[in-house]
Structure 1
Amino acid sequence: MKAQSQVGTYVPRNQLQPGDLVFFYSPIHHVGIYIGNERVMHTFGSPCVTISDMNSGWWSTYFKTARRVIH
């Protein structure tokens, strides 16, 4: 996952666009897809695919970096 977090173009959090990959924790061990409106789609336990608010709790605290792979 660390290698994946270095592919593409770095994107500052305030410039995220739907489709950007967002990475969490240090060392990085969780990735999701930014879907807009400060929300991230990811897999995390049950029910498998989840949508979380990046401004709340764990997601806000542990956001690490973002990359734009598809232009």
Structure 2
Amino acid sequence: MKLIQIETLKSLENDGYIDLYFGDQSHFRLTPNVPYAWQTIENAILLPASKGKYLNVVGMMTRKNKLILKYLKALLILTD
């Protein structure tokens, strides 16, 4: 069902009726999400963690690579 909806929106964009953007969000912080890194047995790598605030980012891009990027302090995105 969703694939049909997306194809319909793409068709409307192709015909010039709408500007279609695809979006995603993420956040960055000083504490690593993954507490390890690629490393050799001989050279262990330590990823230090620090307490601090995080930065939410939201990006939206068209199929023609037009980008809109926002940095937000507080964000709630509801998706299905």
User: TM-score per shorter chain, which class?
Assistant: under 0.3
**Structure with more of its chain in strand, by fraction:** 1
**Bigger RCO of structures 1 and 2 (CA < 8 A, at least 6 apart):** 1
Rg: which structure is higher?
A: 2
TM-score, scaled to structure 1: 0.24
